[in-house]
Amino acid sequence: MCLRTRCGAMIWRFDAAAEWLPFVKSSPIEDGRDPTRVGCVRVLTQADAGVFREVLVALSDAEHFYSYAFASSRVPVRNHRTTLRVLPITDGDCSYVEWSSRFEIAPKHEAQLVELMSRNLR
């Protein structure tokens, strides 16, 4: 990984979400597995005690991204996949972070997801 900023390096670690997301209390990898191995499971516990289990499904040092899917979630989504990409900005010692998700959710659960995301990502 050739990210030039400390922030970029921290975000890159799959087990470090609690270090940069204020609503996350802890984010260890199950069974002490290697957080750079596809298939490892992160247990993300939120400050409000909500728990998500997330499986690392792709990782590319060359393209500076990792993707994960929910193994279990408090929000009933289907076909979930989130990608976090960290790219260096050539003018200065900065990084650009792109965080995107794709999923399906039943209309009756949309309000629950909007409320959760609004609360967490202010």
Backbone angles phi, psi at 15, to 5 degrees: -95, 10
Distance, first Cα to last Cα, the chain: 29
* Architecture per CATH, 6-120: 2-Layer Sandwich (3.30)
Handedness of CA 43, 44, 50, 53 (dihedral sign): negative
Give the whole-angstrom CA distance, residue 42 versus residue 56. 8
Residue 114 is predicted with a pLDDT of 77
Give the whole-angstrom CA distance, residue 114 versus residue 105. 11
Q: Is the pTM of this model over 0.85?
A: no
Residue 110 is predicted with a pLDDT of 83
Backbone angles phi, psi at 34, to 5 degrees: -70, 120
Residue 1 is predicted with a pLDDT of 41
Residue 2 is predicted with a pLDDT of 44
- Tens of pLDDT, residue by residue over 89-98, are 888 777 788 8
Q: How far is CA 110 from CA 45, 79, 107, 113, 120, in A?
A: 22, 15, 5, 5, 15
Average confidence (pLDDT) per 10 residues, the chain, 122 residues: 58 87 93 95 91 95 90 88 87 82 87 74 62
Give the whole-angstrom CA distance, residue 4 versus residue 95. 7
